[in-house]
Structure formats: structure tokens, C-alpha cells
Amino acid sequence: MSHLELAGLSAYPESRVDYAGSTYFMTRGERMLGVIGESAGFEGTRHEASGALLCPLTPTNAAALRRRLPWLNPVPLGLRTSAGFGDRLGLATPGHVLAVRGTGIAPVFAQQSVRENARTHRTPQQVLDDAMWGVFQAGWREPWGADADHLKTPADAEAFAAAGYTFYTIDPGDHVDNAADTDPAATLTAKVDTLPWDILDSSAKDLEERYLKVLLRLGRFNLYFDRPVLLRAAAKYGRAVAHTVTMYRHLHTLMGRRPWELEVSVDETATPTTVQEHFYIANELRRLGVTWVSMAPRYVGRFEKGVDYIGSLAQFEAEFGRHVTIMHYFGGYKLSLHSGSDKFAVYDIAAKLTGGMVHLKTAGTSYLEALRVLAAHEPQLFREILALARRRYDTDRATYHVSADLTKVPTPDALSDAQLPDLLDQFDARQVLHVTFGSVLDRFGGQLKAALRSHEDAYDEAIRKHFVRHLEPLMQ
């Protein structure tokens, strides 16, 4: 029996750290930070039997612990194979650690978009602190990242930078002109003429000179632009490129000397990114001095929330391979799989074709695994959540790419307790439960989190088991 147990404290064994003359640990039950030794900067009460200062998990104590234990600070992860673990509840990181430990995959444990923060009523600082406490509890000592996901405006970045995020995902989707895919030539010409050429540091004439005279022999295929293809690419993505440049320059100023890295995301758009459009985006960004570590084009097929890839795998593999060629042409960056949760059919393809130069981004699947645990252990609460999700689906689905048919989702009273967990394997139910998380947390957030605390080991194991399926194909 340990000294702490003799003193009446139960601690997570993986959390114990003896460092620079002090000991740190996290208690079970009502989770508290324990500090034995030098405790300046921490706020708490003294536990007489052990001599430890027991500190609530507050922002002040999180900041103090990060100053003491440097590995609790997120860092840039570079070109390593990586995976983002979004956590809408702030409870999943210990399970994420169990899944990623020993894989060699670099984890991004703090990942939340502005949209998700708004729906969960959390701040970037809360998301980062929750992930850090999970990292500490689980004894993770290796590098990890923090992703300010899907930033759309310069103002979006402020709170993430203040909190210490290291990975910034710019989402210029609002500036992508999807109509350009079908616009006639005259309309495309007019759109290109009115691009923000001051930000792009160019002109329509210079654009044509840069692209129309070039034939690139890329080994697997030749790449060239005729005038319609070039005008379509520029009309569709020119304003998105300009917005990305503006965001990048703002971040460069905001972050100062602090290390950080950038991801460019154009995945949440109506139509796929062609290989010529990928080249145009990358070439223009590079010309304008932007550096990035990963890029998320809009791939062929459908990457809907919470379910596997929908579409032809043969077509995906062929087109993805061409995107890989463009990636290598520009010196190498990772291709990112957004809405990557549960896309088991494409992981092996992506990992093999990129040689591991891939970033997987997941979010809602950890929440769905929480509901699976709830269905098994707290069936009445799960039934109430299911009923609310069915009522809210038509409203809450508005900002997500989903195709669930609500009529195929059973009502709560149509299933026995034993059948409830199976809903988390059913296409339509998964999507309905996935996109209604904000409404559910507004009504049941406290009860849901308390239930998961009561079944902590089951939740950690559910997360571990589920994410092993995500990560094993990436280990090439």
C-alpha cells in the first residue's frame, strides 16, 4: 500500500510524477490535483494525513502545473502521422491516451471548433485545460498538440492564441464559390476580374501567364491548365486563398515568437477539389509566403458525420493518389482527413499512399461512445436523450453534412434496455445522435457527465477500443 493510500487518498497511479523535488498526482472520485513539496502558485487546502496540498482543477492550478511540468504544454507536431481527438465533454482524453499509447502516432488531444465551443458553452481555455488534466491523469509524457479548429475570422483566433494552442486550422469555406463549377465562361471571367488582387499580389493577366504556359510532368500524370480550367479554379478558390493569406498573416502577428503550425481546410464545400484546384491553392499560398503542415481538400465521395465513407473506394483511391502527387510536388505536407471519425474504409488507403503523411481529424465519435456507455449503464437517461435528439434533429442538422432518415430511428419506447446500445451501430441513429449534441448538453449535460464519471472505467475502455480501430490502419 502506498503512502497516499495509507493517508486515505486514492490516486490514479499513472498520474504520479516526482519532478524537481516535488510530487504531483490526481485523486480519484472528486478529482483533485495533489502537490507534495513546493506548492507556490497553487490554490488548495492542506490534507493533514498526507501533507499534500489538494487543489481543485481550476484554470489557475492548470496554469501552475503547466509551468512545473513542461510536457503538459502542447507543441507543434510537424510532419509525423497524427490524429486529432475532439472531445465535446472534456472527459475522453484518458481513453484517447490508452488508444494512442505505443502507436507512434502524434496526438492532438485538445481540438474544438468555434462552432462546437458555442454549442457546448466551453471556451478554448476550458477545452485545453480539460485535455491537459486528462494527459496528466493518464501519465502521457510525449508531445501532444492543441488544434484551434475551423477558424473562419481573425477574431476567432484570439482566445485560442491566448490559451496556448499550437495548431490552427483555417477554414475559408465561406469564401469558396461553389457556383463556379457550373458557371459559363463569361461569368467565370467576370468573377476572376473582381478577385481581391491586392491581397493576392497579382492580376488576372499575371495569373494566366503563371499557369497557361506550364506543363508539369508529375510521373503518374501530367498536369496542365487550359483557360476554362484555370478560370474555374481561380473563381472557385481565389477568394478562399486571399482569406487564408489574411488569416495567416494575422496569426503570424498574434503568435509572435511562439511556435505554431497551420492547416488549410477546404473540405466543407459542396463539390470536390480537383487536382488542378489543389495545385492552384497550394501554388498560390506558397507564392504568397504561407507555410502549412497539412491541407484538407474536399475529396470525392461523402464524408458524413459519424458514419463510414460513402462512395466508390476505387475512385477515392485514384483521386487521393493524385492529391498525394501534388502534395509531394510542393515538398511534402500532410493530407488531412476531416470528418474523419469512423471512416474505416479509407484509412489504410490514405496511410499507404501518403507514406504516413496524413492527419486524421475526429470529433463527435467520442461523444457517441459516451452515449454507448450510457445506453448500457444508464438506460433511462439514454432514452430521454434519444427522445430529445429525435425532436431536435431537423433543426440541429442544418450546419452538418448528414443524410439520416429520422423515420428509421426507433422511438425510445420501441426498444428493450438490451437493444439500446445497438443504436450506436445504426447509420441513421448515429447521425441523429451525433449532430444534436448541443441540444442534449443544454438539457442533460450535468447528468450525462456525472453518469460517465460513475462509469469511468467503462468509458475509458469504450474510447480505447473504438480508437484502436481508427489508429491501427495508420501505423504503416
Residues designated catalytic? 149, 263
Three-class secondary structure of residue 361 per DSSP: strand
**Secondary element (H or E) of residue 47:** strand 45-47
CA distance 217 to 277: 17
**286: Cβ contacts below 8 Å, ≥ 6 apart:** 330
Q: Which residues lie across from 361 on neighbouring strands?
A: 84
What gap in Å lies between CA 410 and CA 428, rounded to an integer?
Answer: 10
Q: Extract the C-alpha cell encoding 329.
A: 510536388
User: How far from 31 is each of 12, 133, 475, CA to CA, in Å?
Assistant: 10, 10, 34
Residues 52 and 456: their CA atoms lie apart, in Å, by 25
DSSP state for residue 181 in the 8-state scheme: G
CA-CA distance, 327 to 341, in Å (whole number)?
Answer: 23
Number of H helices, E strands in the chain: 18, 15
Q: Which of 37, 135, 39 has its CA nearest to residue 90?
A: 135
336: its cell numbers = 488531412
Cβ–Cβ under 8 Å, residues 357 and 332: yes
CA gap 437, 215 in Å, rounded: 49
Q: Report the C-alpha gap between 142 and 120 in whole angstroms.
A: 28
The amino acid occupying position 474 is L
Rounded to whole angstroms, the Cα distance separating 125 from 74 reads 13
User: Under a CB-based contact definition with an 8 Å cutoff, are residues 62 and 132 in contact?
Assistant: yes
- For the record, the C-alpha cell of 189 comes out as 471571367
User: CA of 172: how far to CAs of 200, 372, 461, in Å?
Assistant: 15, 34, 37
